[in-house]
Amino acid sequence: MMIAKGKGRGILVLLIATALLVVLACASACAQGAVAQGPTSHQDPVAPILVALGLILLAAKLGGEIFERFRQPSVLGELVFGILLGNIVLVNPSWNFFEPLRAGQITEHWAVVIDALARIGVILLLFEVGLESTVSEMRKVGLASTIVAAAGVVAPFILGYGASAWFIHEVPASILAVSPGFSIANIHMFVGAILCATSVGITARVFRDLGKMHLPEARIILGAAVIDDIFGLIILAVVSGLVVAAETGREVSVGSLLEIGAVAFGFLAGAILVGIYAVPRYLSIMARFRTRGVMIVSALLFCFLLSYLANLAGLATIVGAFAAGLVLERVHFKEFKEERSLNELLAPVTTIFVPIFFVMMGIQVRLESFADMNVLGIALALTAAAVIGKQVCGLVVGKGYDRLSIGIGMIPRGEVGLIFASIGKSLNVIDASIFSAAVIMVILTTLITPPLLKLSLQRFERRKPGSRA
Amino acid sequence: MMIAKGKGRGILVLLIATALLVVLACASACAQGAVAQGPTSHQDPVAPILVALGLILLAAKLGGEIFERFRQPSVLGELVFGILLGNIVLVNPSWNFFEPLRAGQITEHWAVVIDALARIGVILLLFEVGLESTVSEMRKVGLASTIVAAAGVVAPFILGYGASAWFIHEVPASILAVSPGFSIANIHMFVGAILCATSVGITARVFRDLGKMHLPEARIILGAAVIDDIFGLIILAVVSGLVVAAETGREVSVGSLLEIGAVAFGFLAGAILVGIYAVPRYLSIMARFRTRGVMIVSALLFCFLLSYLANLAGLATIVGAFAAGLVLERVHFKEFKEERSLNELLAPVTTIFVPIFFVMMGIQVRLESFADMNVLGIALALTAAAVIGKQVCGLVVGKGYDRLSIGIGMIPRGEVGLIFASIGKSLNVIDASIFSAAVIMVILTTLITPPLLKLSLQRFERRKPGSRA
C-alpha cells in the first residue's frame, strides 16, 4: 500500500514535470522571441538574464524533486533536466534559447552572466565542501584513509588514461584549430584526472539513510574522500599545468611536473598555515563591524581571495575555494554578533548558485554526439574504468573491513568529475563529445552506487551477524 | 567622555579605512595587471569577477561601517566608497581597473557580469521593500497618506522640471549622438521623475532610533512612502514610455500618455489580483516539494516572472519586483516545511547583491564632471527642489499634526532616486553629468534628514508638552 502510494505520487510528479517541460519549451520559444526583439524596444538587459535564471532554477528544482522522490540524489536531477533544457532544440530547431550557453566561446551578454553565475556557484560549492571538514579532522582520519585515497586516485587515473588511449587516436579538429601541435597524451591524462576524485556526498547520504554512519567503513570512506579531493586537486593542477605548458610551447620535463605539483601542495600548505595564524586576526577585526551581514561577507571575501590567489599560482580557482573552506572553522566566528551559523547563512546563497552550475553542465551536453557510436563507447569505457578503478580501494585496506562496500562507496564521481570535465573543456583539452561522455560517466556512477552499496552492506552484515550490533 | 570615546573610535575607523583604501588602490593596480595578462595565461574568466566583486563588497562594508559609526545610513557609505573606488583613477591614471564599469556601453565580460549582479541587486531590493508592505496594510493607511503622497510627488516633479529647464538649455551631444531629434523636455521630465519618490528607510530609522515610531506623523509618513513608491513607479513608467516613443519616432499625444499610465496601473492592479487568486495555489504546489531550498526559489521565481512581465509591458523590471513583493505575504509560506521565514532566508542573499548596486552607482559618478560649475549648480538646484518640493506634504495634512516633521521626513530620496537616475542613464535620457548631479542630490537629501528631523521633532514636543506622553 505504501509502495503503491509512493509510486502514484512519483507518477503524479512525473506528469506535472512533463506538463511543465512543455511549458518550459514554450517559454523558451517565447523568451527567444523576446530576446530577438532587439535594442529598439529598450528592453532592460537584465530581462533575458531573469528568464534564463528562472528557467534554470525551475528545471533544477523540478529535476531535483523528481530524483529525490525516486531516492536518487537531487544533483542528478539537476543534471538530467539541464540535458533536457539544452537539447529541446533537437525537438524543434526554433527552441534555441539556450544555444548561446552551449557555444564554445560564450559571447552573448546574458549567457556570459549565466556562465559566470555557474562558475561562482562551483566556487561556493567547493567552499561549502571545505567548510564541512576541518584541518584537525583531516589529521585524525589517519593512515587507512590516506592509503585508500591514494589507491583510489592512482588506479582510476591509469585506467582512464588507458580507456582514452583505446578510443581516441587523434586530436579532435576543434582542438587542433585552437592549439596546433597539441599532444594527444594531454587528452588521455585529462580523462584520467576526471576519473580520480570521489564525490562523497552521495555515499554519505546512503550511509545516513541506512543509519550506518557509525560503521568504520563509513568513516574510512569519508576520510578518504577528503584526502582524495586534495590528491585530485593536485593532479588537476599538474595536468592543467602540463597542458598550458605544452600550448605555450614550453618544454615539459619531470622537473616542471614536480614544480607544478610542489606549487599546488605548497599553496594548500600555505593556505592552512595562513589560516592558523592570520584568519583569527582578520575575523576578529571584521567581528567589530556593526553593519549588517559582515559575517557572511567576511567569509566570502576570504574565499574569493584564496580562489584568486590559486588562479595566480596557476591552479584552478576551486582549489583556493576549497582551501578557504578548510581553513575557516566554526570557532573563528564566535566573536560575531550573529545568531545564525555561517553554514545557515550560506545555505540560501548556495541553494541559488550551485544548481546553476549543474544545470549548466547538463545544458552543455550534446545528445547528438552520442549518435557517434565511438562517443557512446568512450562513455561506457570511462564508466567501467571509473567503477573498476575504485575497487582497488577495497583491496588496500586491512582485514576485517567490508572491502566490497568500501570499493563501491568510492565509486560516485558526482560534482568533482563534472568540475574537472568543465575545466578541461574551458582549457580546450577535451572537446564537446568527450565532455558529453564524461557527464554520462558521472550520471551512471552516481546512479549505480546507492542500490549497489545497500546490497553490499546487507550481504556483509548477513555474513557476520555477531560482529556488529 | 562618551562622546570623546565615540570620537576616538570614529577616528580609529577612519584611519583603518584610509589604510585600506591604499590597499584598495594597490589591489586595483595589481588586479588590473592581472587582468591585462591576456588569454595566453589561461586565466579563469571568473578571476577578474572575483577581484571586482571582492573589492566592491569590501568597499561596501567599510563604507557602511564608517557611516553607521557616525550615525548615518550605511547606504550612504556604500555610495561614497563607490565614488572613491571609481575615482581613484583621478589619483593615478594607471589605477583604472574600474573604468570598464563606467563606460557608456559596458562590453568587457567581467564588467557585464558585475553590472548584471547590480541590476539583480536592485530587483531583489525592490522585492524586499515590497515584501515589507502588504496589500491590506496599504488599504489601511487611508486618505491622509494618499494626499501626502500625491502632494509629495506632484510638487517635486514640477520643481525638478523647472530646475532642469533653468540649467539645461540644450541636449548633451552624447545623447544626440545616439538619438538625434531628442527633445529637451524629455530630460526635464526625467529629472522631475527622479525627485518624486521618497526613500522611507532613512526616516523610519530615525523615528525608531528616537523611540517615536508610535507618533501619528510616523504612520502617515510610512504609509505615504508606500503609496509614493507606487505613484513614482507609474510616473517612471509614463516618462520612460514617452522617451521611448519619442526615440522610435511615434507621436506623443495625451492619449498615449494616458495609455502608458493605464498600462502601469493595470499591471500593478493585475499583479495584485493574480496575487490574491493564483499565488496561494502556486505556493501550495511548491510547498509539496521536498528538495532543499524550494521556498526561497519559489519566491524568487515569482519575483523574476513579474519583473520580466513588467518589462514586456514596457515598464521597468523593478515595478514587477515591487509588485511581486507586495503580493507575497507571510501567510502564503506557512505550508512550507522551513524553519525560517522568507525574509530571514532572503537576508544573506540581499546582503551580498544589494550593496553591489549602490557601490556601482558610486563608481559611475564622475567627480571630474563637477569641475564644470554648471553641473555643480544643477546638483544644488536639484537638492533645493527636492527639499522644498516635499514641504508641500506638510501643508496638505490636517491641523494638529507636526507639519514641519512630515515635510522633513519625506525629504530623503535614497535608493529610489538612484534607481530612477540609473534607469534614465541606461535609457540614454540623462548623461553622465546629470547622473552625477542626481547622485549628489541623493547623498545630500539623505544626509540632512536625520539631524533636521531630530531637531524638528524636539521643537514640536516642546511647544505642545501636554499633547503627547
Helix (H) or strand (E) holding B220: helix B216-247
For A348, the closest of B49, B285, B345 (CB atoms) is B345
Q: Can you give the CATH number for the domain in which A395 is found?
A: 1.20.1530.20
Domain count, chain A: 2
Cα angle B289, B300, B219; round to 5 = 120
Measure in Å the smallest separation between the Cα of A375 and chain B Cα atoms. Answer: 27
B55 & B200 share domain: no
Residue B311 binned pLDDT confidence (cut-offs 50, 70, 90): confident
The verdict on residue B109 lying in a domain is: no
Chain A residue numbers with beta carbons less than 8 Å from the beta carbon of B307 are: 46-47, 50
Chain A residue numbers with beta carbons less than 8 Å from the beta carbon of B285 are: 16
Residue B279 has pLDDT above 80, yes or no: yes
User: For B446, phi and psi rounded to 5 degrees?
Assistant: -75, -35
A339 & A243 share domain: yes
Side chain identity, residue B70: F
Measure in Å the smallest separation between the Cα of B216 and chain A Cα atoms. Answer: 29
3-state SS, A433-466, equals HHHHHHHHHHHHHHHHHHHHHHHHHHHHHHHCCC
Range of the domain at B93: 2-97
User: What span, in angstroms and rounded, lies between the C-alpha atoms of B432 and B174?
Assistant: 9
Measure in Å the smallest separation between the Cα of A50 and chain B Cα atoms. Answer: 6
The verdict on residue A112 lying in a domain is: no
pLDDT (tens digit per residue) in A70-117: 877 788 888 889 988 888 888 888 888 888 998 877 889 999 999 999
Q: Is A25 helix (H, G, I), strand (E, B) or coil?
A: helix
User: What span, in angstroms and rounded, lies between the C-alpha atoms of B256 and B238?
Assistant: 9
Residue B296 binned pLDDT confidence (cut-offs 50, 70, 90): very high
Residue B134 has pLDDT above 90, yes or no: no
pLDDT at residue B31 in the model: 56
Question: Among residues 108-127 of chain A, which lie with CB inside 8 Å of chain B?
Answer: 109-110, 112-113, 115-116, 119-120, 123
A220 & A92 share domain: no
A289 & A172 share domain: yes
The verdict on residue B351 lying in a domain is: yes
Contact A117, A362 (CB under 8 A): no
Q: How far is CA A359 from CA A205, A353, A438, in A?
A: 21, 11, 15
B49-60 burial code (b ≥16 CB/10 A, e <16):
bbbbbbbbbbbb
Q: How many CB atoms lie within 10 A of CB A91?
A: 10
The verdict on residue A131 lying in a domain is: yes
Is A61's CB within 8 Å of B345's CB?
no
Side chain identity, residue B266: G
The verdict on residue B113 lying in a domain is: no
User: What span, in angstroms and rounded, lies between the C-alpha atoms of B234 and B242?
Assistant: 12
Residue B57 has pLDDT above 90, yes or no: yes
Chain B residue numbers with beta carbons less than 8 Å from the beta carbon of A247 are: 42
Is B304's CB within 8 Å of A426's CB?
no
Q: Please indicate if any CB of chain B lies within 8 Å of the CB of A312.
A: yes
Residue B9 has pLDDT above 90, yes or no: no
The larger pLDDT score, comparing residue A145 to residue A166, is at: A166
Residue B48 has pLDDT above 60, yes or no: yes
pLDDT (tens digit per residue) in A185-230: 888 988 998 898 787 666 776 777 677 777 778 778 877 877 777 7
Residue A137 binned pLDDT confidence (cut-offs 50, 70, 90): low
Is B116's CB within 8 Å of A58's CB?
no
A307 & A373 share domain: yes
The residues, ordered by sequence, that sit 6+ positions from B309 with a Cβ below 8 Å of its Cβ are B267, B320
For A65, the closest of B40, B74, B289 (CB atoms) is B289
A193 & A334 share domain: yes
A309 & A453 share domain: yes
Contact A33, A97 (CB under 8 A): no
Q: Please indicate if any CB of chain A lies within 8 Å of the CB of B278.
A: no
A91 & A177 share domain: no
Residue A162 binned pLDDT confidence (cut-offs 50, 70, 90): very high
User: What span, in angstroms and rounded, lies between the C-alpha atoms of A229 and B374?
Assistant: 61
Nearest to B317 by CA among A121, A116, A44, A69: A44
pLDDT at residue B36 in the model: 44
Nearest to A207 by CA among A199, A216, A218, A198: A218
pLDDT at residue A140 in the model: 64
What single string gives the DSSP state of each residue in B327-361? H--GGGGTTS--SS-HHHHHHHHHHHHHHHHHHHH
User: What span, in angstroms and rounded, lies between the C-alpha atoms of B59 and B239?
Assistant: 34
The verdict on residue B117 lying in a domain is: no
Contact B78, B355 (CB under 8 A): yes
Side chain identity, residue A433: S
Residue A159 binned pLDDT confidence (cut-offs 50, 70, 90): very high
For A317, the closest of B44, B112, B426 (CB atoms) is B44
The larger pLDDT score, comparing residue B270 to residue B254, is at: B270
The verdict on residue A9 lying in a domain is: yes
Average pLDDT over residues A365-383: 86
Q: Please indicate if any CB of chain B lies within 8 Å of the CB of A347.
A: yes
Contact B440, B383 (CB under 8 A): yes
Q: Please indicate if any CB of chain B lies within 8 Å of the CB of A265.
A: no
Contact A406, A207 (CB under 8 A): no
Is A42's CB within 8 Å of B244's CB?
yes
Q: Please indicate if any CB of chain A lies within 8 Å of the CB of B65.
A: yes
Residue count of chain B, please give it: 469
Contact A195, A385 (CB under 8 A): yes
pLDDT at residue B468 in the model: 46
User: What span, in angstroms and rounded, lies between the C-alpha atoms of B355 and B75?
Assistant: 8
User: For B338, phi and psi rounded to 5 degrees?
Assistant: -130, 130
Question: Among residues 226-245 of chain B, which lie with CB inside 8 Å of chain A?
Answer: 240, 244
Chain A residue numbers with beta carbons less than 8 Å from the beta carbon of B115 are: 45
Q: Please indicate if any CB of chain A lies within 8 Å of the CB of B43.
A: yes
The larger pLDDT score, comparing residue A414 to residue A444, is at: A444
Q: Please indicate if any CB of chain B lies within 8 Å of the CB of A390.
A: no
Is A307's CB within 8 Å of B347's CB?
no
Contact B347, A297 (CB under 8 A): no
User: What span, in angstroms and rounded, lies between the C-alpha atoms of B389 and B407?
Assistant: 9
For A304, the closest of B34, B53, B292 (CB atoms) is B53
The verdict on residue A174 lying in a domain is: yes
pLDDT at residue B3 in the model: 40
Share of chain B above pLDDT 90, in %: 17
A224-233 burial code (b ≥16 CB/10 A, e <16):
bbbbbbbbbb
What single string gives the DSSP state of each residue in B29-65? HHHHHHHTT-GGG---THHHHHHHHHHHHHHHHHHHH
Supply the pTM of this predicted model: 0.83
Q: Please indicate if any CB of chain A lies within 8 Å of the CB of B8.
A: no
Is A304's CB within 8 Å of B346's CB?
no
pLDDT at residue A37 in the model: 44
pLDDT at residue B115 in the model: 93
pLDDT (tens digit per residue) in A17-41: 666 666 666 566 555 554 444 333 4
The residues, ordered by sequence, that sit 6+ positions from A436 with a Cβ below 8 Å of its Cβ are A365, A366, A367, A369, A370, A375, A379
The larger pLDDT score, comparing residue A247 to residue B32, is at: A247
Residue B415 has pLDDT above 90, yes or no: no
Measure in Å the smallest separation between the Cα of A146 and chain B Cα atoms. Answer: 30
Is B297's CB within 8 Å of A120's CB?
no
A359 & A441 share domain: yes
User: What span, in angstroms and rounded, lies between the C-alpha atoms of A106 and B186?
Assistant: 37
Chain B residue numbers with beta carbons less than 8 Å from the beta carbon of A297 are: 57, 60-61, 351-352
Residue B411 has pLDDT above 80, yes or no: yes
The DSSP call for residue B171 is: -
What single string gives the DSSP state of each residue in A134-200? -HHHHHHHHHHHHHHHHHHHHHHHHHHHHHHHHH--S--HHHHHHSTT--HHHHHHHHHHHTT---H
For A289, the closest of B44, B65, B244 (CB atoms) is B65
For B297, the closest of A34, A61, A120 (CB atoms) is A61
Share of chain A above pLDDT 70, in %: 83
Residue A164 CA neighbour count, 13 Å, CB half:
30
B181 & B306 share domain: yes
Q: Please indicate if any CB of chain A lies within 8 Å of the CB of B50.
A: yes
Q: Please indicate if any CB of chain B lies within 8 Å of the CB of A289.
A: yes
Is A123's CB within 8 Å of B50's CB?
yes
The larger pLDDT score, comparing residue A240 to residue B49, is at: B49
Contact B147, B410 (CB under 8 A): no
For B290, the closest of A65, A115, A289 (CB atoms) is A65
Is B296's CB within 8 Å of A112's CB?
no
Side chain identity, residue B84: L
Residue B439 has pLDDT above 80, yes or no: yes
Average pLDDT score, chain A: 80
Residue B116 has pLDDT above 90, yes or no: yes
Q: Is B102 helix (H, G, I), strand (E, B) or coil?
A: helix
User: What span, in angstroms and rounded, lies between the C-alpha atoms of A9 and B419?
Assistant: 46
For A290, the closest of B68, B113, B426 (CB atoms) is B68
pLDDT at residue A399 in the model: 76
Is B123's CB within 8 Å of A46's CB?
yes
Residue A467 has pLDDT above 60, yes or no: no
A210 & A326 share domain: yes
Average pLDDT over residues B136-154: 77
Is B351's CB within 8 Å of A293's CB?
yes
Best of A50, A186, A250 to mutate (most B CBs within 10 Å, chain B): A50
B257 & B400 share domain: yes
Residue A313 has pLDDT above 90, yes or no: no
Helix (H) or strand (E) holding B170: none
User: What span, in angstroms and rounded, lies between the C-alpha atoms of B357 and B78?
Assistant: 9
A303-331 burial code (b ≥16 CB/10 A, e <16):
bbbbbbbbbbbbbbbbbbbbbbbbbbbee
